Chain A
Amino acid sequence: MSVDMNTAPTMPSGERARVSLAQRLSGLGGNARQYGIFAALVMIILLFQVLTDGKLLLSNNVAALFQQNAYVMILAIGMVMVIVAGHIDLSVGSVVAFVGGVVALSIRDFDVPWVAAIVIGLAVGALVGAWQGFWVAYVGIPAFIVTLAGMLIFRGLTLVLVGETIAGLPSQYIRIAKGSLPNVLGFVNNADVVTLVIGTAAFAALAFTQIRARRSLRKHNLHMEAFGLFLTKLVLAAIGIGAVTIILSLSAGGTPIVLVIVGVLVVAYSFLMGRTVFGRHIYAIGGNRPAAALSGVNTKRVDFWIFVNIGVLAAVAGVVQTARSGAAIASAGQNYELDAIAACFIGGAAVTGGIGRISGAIVGALIMGVLNMGLSIMAVDPAWQQAIKGLVLLLAVAFDLVNKRRAGTR
């Protein structure tokens, strides 16, 4: 018998019109969820814009929003990778304080130039990550335990190292967190030209890569999203980037330096997660660890490097946060791990691993940041702010679950 045994007709190639709407929507998969997060962020911004009588989006407030929340975004990048791989890291808050202590101590007591001190700090972060990665990957102790221990260990070491505070850091160092890019191109109608150039370049780069990717998909006759959707996304991106650019260009300093740091990290890590073998292996491990191992993925090595990576990112956050405080403080970074974890889950990461995106985690961090800022402008009691943030986390994940259930797995 030579005929095949199909009972259902196969999809002829190129005949996309026959794909039903439901199938197309389900084909969007995680994407639909991502759009939901963006929509939620926009809604929360609009809500607080109204509630604060327009104060939320004042230029200096937006600049401060990025400066205040840079640490969450940096940590969330590392955390989402850890969570996608099916682990957790509870130690990042302590590592932030520890690295801050090392950097400040190097500068004050050993007269290390501040740039070299930062390099030392990052190296210490990598070592801390390697230490925890070793226990998780090669000894097989659950990350929850290893990093819970790490949380205590590095907090303790910070207290030993720092005492209470190490102040008197050089002003160039402090600029990292508080400063902005120098205004070398002057102003147009009060707007900082450097910021406008960066914003325009960012959108141009985004549009260019998107259009090129789409053209390539078409050339290879592969599945792509509808043109209308594609165009809508580009227009919305243009509006979003445009708005942030203009608002920031009118702020006191222009583009905050930390925003550049975060931007570079987001682009680099989105590429790492989406396009590289290493990123793919992280998703494969989180989705089904034994299957990944049986496909030839060296799961231990991947686990190890994920923790080294978050160690380094925690160190970056430590550098930024120490600069922001102007001093290393023994109690710095408390609850940072929880902020980062919350950002990841609000941003759509799955508790069971395998699902999560850098962009989602960043948006999650921004939602938390906007909540913080909005509530602060409204002078809501910090105690209530915490309770409200907790509620938002719970509702975001609940919403996600209910959505999934409605999508219906048979």
Chain B
Amino acid sequence: MDNDDILQMRGITKRFPGVIALQDVNLSVRRGEIHAICGENGAGKSTLMKVLSGVYPHGTYEGDIVLDGGPVEFRGIRDSEAQGVVIIHQELALSPYLSIAENIFLGNEQRSGRGVIDWNLTNSRAADLLGQVGLAERPDTKVIDIGVGKQQLVEIAKALSKEVKLLILDEPTAALNDEDSAHLLGLIRGLRDRGITSIIISHKLNEIESIADRTTIIRDGRTIETLDMRGEEPVSEERIIRGMVGRPLDHRFPEHTPSIGEEVLRVEDWTVHHPIDQSRTVVAGASISVRRGEIVGLAGLMGAGRTELAMSIFGRSYGSKISGRVYKDGKQVQLNTVDQAIRHGIAYATEDRKHYGLNLIDTIQHNISASALGKLARRGVVDRRQEGTVAEKYRKDLNIKAPTVQSLVGKLSGGNQQKVVLAKWIYADPDVLILDEPTRGIDVGAKYEIYTIINQLAEQGKGVIVISSELPELLGVCDRIYALSQGRVTGEVTKAEATQERLMQYMTMEKDGSAR
């Protein structure tokens, strides 16, 4: 064994009933490096990390784990943490109504003896840790009051409090904007300099390219290769993608020749206030429009008001004190409920499909028909045969990978879940489709399929609005892009004029018109 390795996982095989999730996987991580793990969704990355951190205890998998030169058999997450292995999950595990300090020491409370918590010690140690991760918040602030980016930093502070040697981050920047991502990645580099080894799982290849020392690629539950990112030849994104999908990816975006028609939706002077804090303006006087056959992008950093704009248009499902005008096919319309919006031919596919998009404990069939059940019913009685036929059609058309349309949506991968969301709204046959982060958290191959579907929708003469945090995606897919900053539309560019730099300039524009 290489003495330089802090971790070796050898011949790891993990079976679930009916599935082999990991097969003979090998992973070695050098002391003090940042090691990225790449792979499509469902490739087995998260499963491997759960084996490593003891979520799947010793005995439920085959193979050996060697940490710091000695074999380890974790029976649970407390075991692995005691040895300095800490995992930060994709879905953050913070308790929203507890303070930052309480969260950091949750399960590891700072006691003054006999189970009594020493609050002064707790808060002062928390303040120290917050300093280390560069988070300028008071330790007694409640976690619910800070943004996702800062919550991620709290997770890292929590890991540091446990004397972490090996930090595992599962998609740490998935929910973060570029600024917060950059800060987080800088922090991980800083930890490396202090001798903390990190394993990072990410779908964002540009991030991996910039931060990882080495990258291991997993495909279909097997290790494919480990790339040295700091070698003679730089490893390109294309190189990583080739390993992930098993073949080169010539084009990340399908060809699209727009044929643009009449204006189908126009929103004028749209202003929305925060649902609870009604004095806070979330969207301020925004005006946008989309034409038939056109794909329009909404770019913006987190908090720019993109989702809020979309949801407030979609039957006022977000916000308070909403004002402005909506024109559908040139006629002014009132969209006061989701039902009205749907009947006026507007659809909104959410960015958070698990919480707002799908009924995970129900079947593919029932999810697909959910928003247009009226089309399948006569006098309130659902025609289940027709419903099954429709669902089956979309399963084939959109290539939803599931044995039958009776499969539960909760068991599908992210990409296939997203296709179910799309199927639901395509079946509702809207004129305008608003797609909020349609490719978030799904793998490269499935992304391509989603883009193809978006193009097809536009070709059918629908107006499509795409909200995305990934600028290359907007540039690759959209015919026209609006940039939002602090609730206002700060710029509008056509595909020909658009560059990442130009969009970023608009996206960071302050209220007085200057760049941030």
Contact A27 B449 (CB under 8 A): no
Interface residues of B in 6-33 (CB under 8 A from A): 16-18, 21
Contact B366 A283 (CB under 8 A): yes
Question: Quick check: is A228 within 8 A (CB to CB) of the other chain?
Answer: no
Taking CB as reference atom, which chain A residue is nearest B47?
A: A410
Question: Quick check: is B105 within 8 A (CB to CB) of the other chain?
Answer: no
Contact B403 A11 (CB under 8 A): yes
Of B17, B357, B363, the contact of A29 (CB 8 Å cutoff): B363
Given A222-B389, A292-B370, CB of A280 within 8 Å of CB of B382: yes
Given A217-B388, A354-B361, CB of A8 within 8 Å of CB of B401: yes
Of A216, A277, A284, the contact of B385 (CB 8 Å cutoff): A216
Interface residues of A in 275-324 (CB under 8 A from B): 275-278, 280-281, 283-284, 287-288, 290-298
Contact B373 A280 (CB under 8 A): yes
B411 to chain A, nearest CB (A): 7
Contact B358 A5 (CB under 8 A): no
Contact B404 A27 (CB under 8 A): yes
Given A7-B245, A217-B388, A295-B371, CB of A1 within 8 Å of CB of B361: no
Contact A23 B362 (CB under 8 A): no
Interface residues of B in 377-433 (CB under 8 A from A): 377, 380-382, 384-385, 388-389, 392, 396, 399, 401, 403-408, 410-411, 424
A370-410 CB mask vs B (1 if < 8 Å, else 0) is 00000000000000000000000000000000000001111
Given A280-B373, A294-B317, A295-B424, CB of A7 within 8 Å of CB of B40: yes
Of B251, B380, B410, the contact of A278 (CB 8 Å cutoff): B380
Complex CA–CA separation, A220 to B317 (angstroms): 38
Report which residue of A11, A222, A276, A294 has the largest number of chain B beta carbons within 10 angstroms of its beta carbon.
A294
Question: Quick check: is B254 within 8 A (CB to CB) of the other chain?
Answer: yes
Contacts of B362 in A (CB 8 A): 283-284, 287, 354
Of B47, B355, B377, B404, the contact of A291 (CB 8 Å cutoff): B355
Question: Quick check: is B334 within 8 A (CB to CB) of the other chain?
Answer: no
Of A1, A20, A291, A296, the contact of B339 (CB 8 Å cutoff): A296
Question: Quick check: is B374 within 8 A (CB to CB) of the other chain?
Answer: yes
Complex CA–CA separation, A292 to B410 (angstroms): 16
Complex CA–CA separation, A288 to B355 (angstroms): 7
Band of interface residues on B: 35 or more
A221 to chain B, nearest CB (A): 8
Given A26-B411, A276-B380, CB of A292 within 8 Å of CB of B406: no
Question: Quick check: is B220 within 8 A (CB to CB) of the other chain?
Answer: yes
Contacts of B314 in A (CB 8 A): 294
Contact A19 B377 (CB under 8 A): no
Contact B399 A6 (CB under 8 A): yes
A1-20 CB mask vs B (1 if < 8 Å, else 0) is 10011111011010000011
A88 to chain B, nearest CB (A): 18
Question: Quick check: is B327 within 8 A (CB to CB) of the other chain?
Answer: no
Contact A292 B359 (CB under 8 A): yes
Question: Quick check: is A268 within 8 A (CB to CB) of the other chain?
Answer: no
Interface residues of A in 174-208 (CB under 8 A from B): none
B369 to chain A, nearest CB (A): 8
Complex CA–CA separation, A276 to B17 (angstroms): 35
Contacts of A222 in B (CB 8 A): 385, 388-389, 392
Complex CA–CA separation, A350 to B361 (angstroms): 11
Contacts of A233 in B (CB 8 A): none
Given A223-B404, A280-B366, A294-B348, CB of A275 within 8 Å of CB of B40: no
Contact B404 A22 (CB under 8 A): no
Contact B385 A294 (CB under 8 A): no
Report which residue of B47, B361, B392 has the largest number of chain A beta carbons within 10 angstroms of its beta carbon.
B361
Contact B17 A407 (CB under 8 A): yes
Contacts of A217 in B (CB 8 A): 385, 388
B332-373 CB mask vs A (1 if < 8 Å, else 0) is 000001110110000010100001111111110010011101
B106-145 CB mask vs A (1 if < 8 Å, else 0) is 0000000000000000000000000000000000000000
Contacts of A278 in B (CB 8 A): 380
Complex CA–CA separation, A5 to B446 (angstroms): 7
Contact A408 B16 (CB under 8 A): yes
Contacts of B446 in A (CB 8 A): 5
Question: Quick check: is A355 within 8 A (CB to CB) of the other chain?
Answer: yes
Contact B396 A223 (CB under 8 A): no
Question: Quick check: is B61 within 8 A (CB to CB) of the other chain?
Answer: no
Contact A296 B342 (CB under 8 A): yes
Complex CA–CA separation, A5 to B406 (angstroms): 24
Contacts of A290 in B (CB 8 A): 355-356
Contact A283 B359 (CB under 8 A): yes
Question: Quick check: is B303 within 8 A (CB to CB) of the other chain?
Answer: no
Question: Can you report 9 residue pairs joining A to B where beta carbons are below 8 Å apart?
Answer: A4-B449, A10-B399, A11-B403, A22-B17, A26-B411, A277-B382, A292-B359, A297-B370, A355-B361
Which residues in A have some Cβ–Cβ distance to B below 8 Å?
Answer: 1, 4-8, 10-11, 13, 19-20, 22-24, 26-27, 29, 216-217, 220-223, 275-278, 280-281, 283-284, 287-288, 290-298, 350, 354-355, 407-410
Given contacts A19-B404, A26-B18, A295-B338, 16 further A-B pairs with CB under 8 A are A5-B446, A7-B445, A22-B17, A24-B403, A27-B406, A223-B388, A223-B404, A223-B406, A278-B380, A280-B370, A288-B359, A291-B358, A292-B359, A294-B314, A296-B315, A408-B17
* List of 4 A-B pairs having minimum Cβ-Cβ separation, nearest first: A22-B18, A287-B359, A5-B445, A295-B371
Which residues in B have some Cβ–Cβ distance to A below 8 Å?
Answer: 16-18, 21, 40, 47, 219-220, 245-246, 250-251, 254, 314-315, 317, 337-339, 341-342, 348, 350, 355-363, 366, 369-371, 373-374, 377, 380-382, 384-385, 388-389, 392, 396, 399, 401, 403-408, 410-411, 424, 444-446, 448-449
